Chain A
């Protein structure tokens, strides 16, 4: 299994329990990418713009993929997509939505705003594992991310 230790994954997830579950599954899949977590939309933007609590590149390296919850505290996940995809320096970073919302309007809106993928969080543990597996295999292993050094 080829993993890329220099390609950080940024997870935007406000629920501790959900994040813990994700961590647990990824550990089982031996994901080597460093994982960073933000709990609010405002934090995601601070992380990428290296503002607020993330004013050092060590604290906040440029992610190669963002796994994004939609219903975030503060700035909403939908607005985070819009902000990043309209910014020339961030729009090439793949954003994969990871949410409980199966609302077609949300799916449509996220793709309209430039999301690169849309995954629905299933309730069932096996289903959840399959979804996370698919994410890891495609976005962290198969897919070639944009050059990190830019």
Chain B
């Protein structure tokens, strides 16, 4: 440690005698020029001023054992200047040229690597060639501080590989990461070497964080010793002023590297850092492109599929890779479909209920669901992370993606349970596995965080789905419109056709009548019979047309709802019936007074008179009819019309309500048109009710109907 500008020595290593043959006292508080020639002193001053590009200076120092050569590195800290001396065999610089070739080779190959992992693999291979270390790894930090070995090369006989292993954040604690971020290189040629004390006149502490030869803390040494490492080289990889990762080099016997090699490594580290940003951008870009193509494929199949959910969840991996999730749930109302590793159906249902009331955002992501939704502790193993996409709140359309707890997702280095190693004195040492325990506490109930482009991807999916839904709704609205128009046209057509049909029909009827009246005497009995048949058929046709007309009018009818006393209504209907058939033998029984209900009185009157006249028609004996109702709690009453007629076989209970459907030949039971019950059914349905029949053939029939 020197004091500028005269470069007076303030502190010196206690082992200085080994190299220079001088005691620390010989140097302390004296200018450096006592040790080296003035020209070299000037070079050191230049180096301190940053004028020589950071390359080490070759020093030759005369000692009592002759000329000794050193690599010298000088730099400034906040309160002093530091000079580090490192013995070398000769002042030759030729070795550096061979590294130039290596660097040139790396440079040319970097361009050819297409993705990040290929690039990192190239780097570890080159660093191994350069340093000859047993094992070279690239160790990447996650935002949480934990790390993972993402590239590795090693001596063939070394086991096991570390590639893919994860290490908790505490393995390389925050201060250590900060140190790495400030200095490109850390080098320990022999981990078991004793730390050499500094000898000083005053006890002033010294900032050695920029030192290459003296920057290793005891904890780090112990950590690596536990792994069996004897020599260690760590090259920092920086990205946007942040420590992105390390190139970690392990050797299992002590190994010394010349300063040229170290500089080459440092240079390589800087080179990698520069290219890293590029490669990461490329990787993200290709990830995004892949995601986009996945998305458009999914959207394509959604918009074409008739079954929307099916298209989403088949094939299952597609929906999952959209957000890099391990499980997903598609909820359409109460219908939930699960894909991949998910909580149970019931758990998902409760989660959706919770989200329905508690989550206001349409897109919601968390990497720690148990913190905000405690019931999820039950299934944190599968769903510590949740990405929730709300497509429609009203319809409760959701897509949920799940991620498991981090601890479940990674391969941890070593067995956490076996590796806690108490020291011989009984205290717990800070070892990798001890630190793992601490770390586990901090990441419990957490999943890997959702990346912004993964969330964007979910958002894009929503936009696409909404688009598809809107298009379908539009199509539906158009179909509805057309349907309504065609319905109106049909009703108009039926009405017009019925009217127009009646005109020629009247002609047929009238001309037959004229023929019978004027020329009846000229015809024989057969001829008269034929004309009678023509008249009868034209009347029948008129009845059919009238029924059609009635039905088509009902199709257009607006209900004229009003409070109606059914007793009154029924009395009138029966009176009309008797008026048209004075000869009818009919006894009507109404066991109890009917209620007053809201209905269209004219139409409901038609229902009753139709049913009563049917009872009259389909009967071989004296007719009785019972009319009543059954009350039901909370539901509108069910009315019934019961008769003692011929009854209806079970297989006709549905068909009797079809238009123009008759059960008997025309000459039997009054030969109606077969439209009566179709009209009754239409009226009941217009009121929002329904009608059905219960009957045993030969024992009468009971027609039930409700009028909402």
Contact = CB atoms under 8 A, between A and B. Distances in A.
B533 A17 contact: yes
Nearest to B536: A17
Contacts of B665: 14, 39-40, 73
Interface residues of A: mostly helix, strand, loop or mixed?
loop
A73 B662 contact: yes
Given A17-B533, A17-B537, A73 B667 contact: no
Contact of B667 (A16, A42, A75, A76): A16
Interface in B656-670: 661-667
Contacts of A126: none
A40 B663 contact: yes
A74 B666 CA distance: 12
Contacts of B533: 17
A16 B665 CA distance: 9
Given A17-B533, A74-B652, A75-B651, A40 B664 contact: yes
B663 A74 contact: yes
A41 B533 CA distance: 24
B666 A15 contact: yes
A40 B665 CA distance: 6
Interface size bracket, A side: 10 to 19
A73 B651 CA distance: 13
Nearest to B656: A74
A121 to B, nearest CB: 15
Contacts of A42: 649, 663
A74 B533 CA distance: 24
A15 B664 CA distance: 11
A14 B671 CA distance: 11
Contacts of A40: 663-665
Contacts of A17: 533, 537
Contact of A16 (B652, B664, B666, B674): B666
A21 to B, nearest CB: 11
A76 B674 CA distance: 14
A73 B664 contact: yes
Contacts of A76: 655
B649 to A, nearest CB: 8
Interface string B616-650: 00000000000000000000000000000000010
A145 to B, nearest CB: 27
Contacts of A75: 651-652
A38 to B, nearest CB: 9
B239 to A, nearest CB: 72
A75 B666 CA distance: 15
Looking at B661, B664, B665, which has the most chain A CB atoms within 10 Å of its CB? Answer: B665
Interface string B532-550: 0100010000000000000
B666 A14 contact: yes
Interface in B674-705: 674
Looking at B537, B655, B664, B674, which has the most chain A CB atoms within 10 Å of its CB? Answer: B664
B664 A74 contact: yes
B211 to A, nearest CB: 95
A91 B232 CA distance: 96
B227 to A, nearest CB: 81
Interface string A5-16: 000000000111
A140 B665 CA distance: 27
Contacts of A74: 652, 662-664
A15 B662 CA distance: 12
A75 B664 CA distance: 10
Contacts of B674: 73
Contacts of B667: 16
B408 to A, nearest CB: 59
Nearest to A43: B665
Nearest to A40: B665
A17 B537 CA distance: 9
Contacts of A73: 661-666, 674
A40 B667 CA distance: 12
Nearest to B658: A76
A42 B662 CA distance: 12
A126 B487 CA distance: 38
Contacts of A14: 665-666
Interface string A108-146: 000000000000000000000000000000000000000
A146 B259 CA distance: 112
A93 to B, nearest CB: 22
A70 to B, nearest CB: 13
A16 B532 CA distance: 13
Nearest to B533: A17
Interface string A30-66: 0000000001101000000000000000000000000
Interface of A: 14-17, 39-40, 42, 73-76
12 contacts: A14-B665, A15-B666, A16-B667, A17-B533, A40-B665, A42-B649, A42-B663, A73-B664, A73-B665, A73-B666, A74-B664, A76-B655
Given A74-B662, A76-B655, 5 more contacts: A14-B665, A17-B537, A40-B663, A73-B662, A73-B664
8 nearest CB pairs, A to B:
A39-B665, A73-B662, A74-B663, A14-B665, A73-B664, A73-B663, A40-B665, A73-B665
